[in-house]
Amino acid sequence: MDLDLAQLRALDATVRGGTLEAAARALHVTPSAISQRLRALEVATGRILLVRSRPVRLTESGQAVLRLARQIDLLTADVARELGDDPAAPERVPTLPIAVNADSMATWVLPALAPLAGEVALDLHREDQEHTSALLRAGTVMAAVTADAEPVPGCTSTRLGSMRYRPMATPAFARRWFPAGPSPEALASAPVVVFDRKDDLQHRYLHAQAGDDVAPPVHYVPASADYVAAVALGLGWGMVPDLQARTTTPELVVLDTAAAVDVVLHWQQWRLRSTALDRVREALLAVARRELDQPERSPVTG
């Protein structure tokens, strides 16, 4: 295949923006020019790459070509910087799509990435740590904070550490609903706060302590800071990460000191020699070593 760089950029911009019009604005051309480049790219690859819906959807072939487009764009930006081009020029700042779970984003990831704000443009995708690796497989992101240790094909995996979650509530909530502690009977009736329908931390603890048949009232609060705020306001009990509990007002109490759920996190990124991507990895690792629980560190795999 003889693939044109402008055509690959048109594909990337269309996927980022969701429409041909958004891609045209990003690349300062007309929607007709974007359409022509996409058609030429599909002719060159002999595959249908996009479903022209709103927003557009990648086909399986499109996912493969998008990965190539983003790899080339990242390497092009790295080479331009090495050749002495102005690193602050907008066209020389690589855009890095990264998937991060909500609790990491709300606690340690953003402070880790802040020093790199002038070197890279971040396109952060919030997703549950059990599902971020799917975005890597699809080519939607170049790297991810994920619970999956097994490297996605074409990626490396590095252990970051673990976030510890404990069942917590306000003192008033604990006195009302758990006067004798979190017994199976109390857990079966006490309201619980759950992040979203992908989040199984609460139910993992609940079912281990009270059985699979219990169905207490559930409040869904799908935002990390608001989730902890809901627990602090007394809406229910919830599995709160130690990193967030330290700064919660009013102070929360641990309902079961013998129970904790450790979510081990890994950093997976494309197996690609990129200065920008490696800088992000090192920045995250440095902060993870301070903020996350560190049993024996595993080496890079993949």
pLDDT (0 to 100) of residue 297: 46
Q: Answer yes or no: do 169 and 257 share one domain.
A: yes
pLDDT (0 to 100) of residue 59: 92
Q: What is the mean pLDDT of residues 4-28?
A: 94
Q: Which two tokens stand for residue 16?
A: 């980022």
Q: What is the mean pLDDT of residues 224-245?
A: 94
Residue ending a domain, choose from 32, 66, 91? 91
96 within 8 A of 123, measured Cβ to Cβ: yes
Q: Tally Cβ neighbours within 10 Å of residue 129.
A: 24
300 found inside a domain: no
What global pTM score does this model have? Answer: 0.79
**Structural domain that includes position 71:** 1-91
CATH number at residue 191: 3.40.190.10
For residue 219, is pLDDT > 90? yes
Cβ contacts of 74 within 8 Å, gap of 6 or more: 94, 96, 142, 272, 274, 276, 277
Number of domains in the chain: 2
Q: Answer yes or no: do 85 and 169 share one domain.
A: no
Q: What is the pLDDT of residues 96-140, one digit of tens each?
A: 999 999 999 999 999 999 999 888 889 999 998 888 988 888 888
The one-character DSSP state at 293 is B
69 found inside a domain: yes
Q: What is the mean pLDDT of residues 142-166?
A: 94
